[in-house]
Structure 1
């Protein structure tokens, strides 16, 4: 059973390389779905990874700038009850 989820959408414009658009068009034609469907699927699948990666980079930046609170390994072990 194919479930269709109702989603509010917004139109946006993106410039893509011609070869990538051709690949999406070929996939869409072969499967009977739209190019928009597959581009949206790809974006949905990649956003969590991008958010995670850039979140880590932001933390590194904050650490280097002294904006991130840190603890020593000894403090962490004590906090977790792993100290001697």
Structure 2
């Protein structure tokens, strides 16, 4: 179970969308989460990687090396 507190303007938009389409607000909340969860995870991992680089705990990899590794250096 998940409970969300939304700003009033977003809640109103969600209410209106649900009313117009006959779908539940939960349906649209679920769709939004499923659509954006991968992106949110990627952002988190990128931020963690950047902080690790800044602390000197890891090294960067040149783009040319990554492209060669994955066969994209054509």
Could you say which TM-score interval applies, normalised by the shorter chain? 0.7 to 0.9
Tell me the secondary structure at the aligned position of residue 12 of structure 1: coil
Max radius of gyration: which structure? 1
Count, aligned residues = 67
Which segments of structure 1 move beyond 4 Å, counting only runs of 4 or more?
none
Tell me, which stretches of 5 or more residues in structure 1 are unaligned?
1-10
* Deviation per residue, 1:15-69 (Å, 9 max, x gap): 1111111111111111110000001111111111111111111101011112114
Kindly indicate which of the two structures has a greater share of residues assigned to helix: 2
TM-score, length basis structure 1: 0.67
RMSD: 2.3
TM-score, length basis structure 2: 0.75
Could you say which residue in structure 2 is the equivalent of 1:34?
24
Tell me, which stretches of 5 or more residues in structure 2 are unaligned?
none
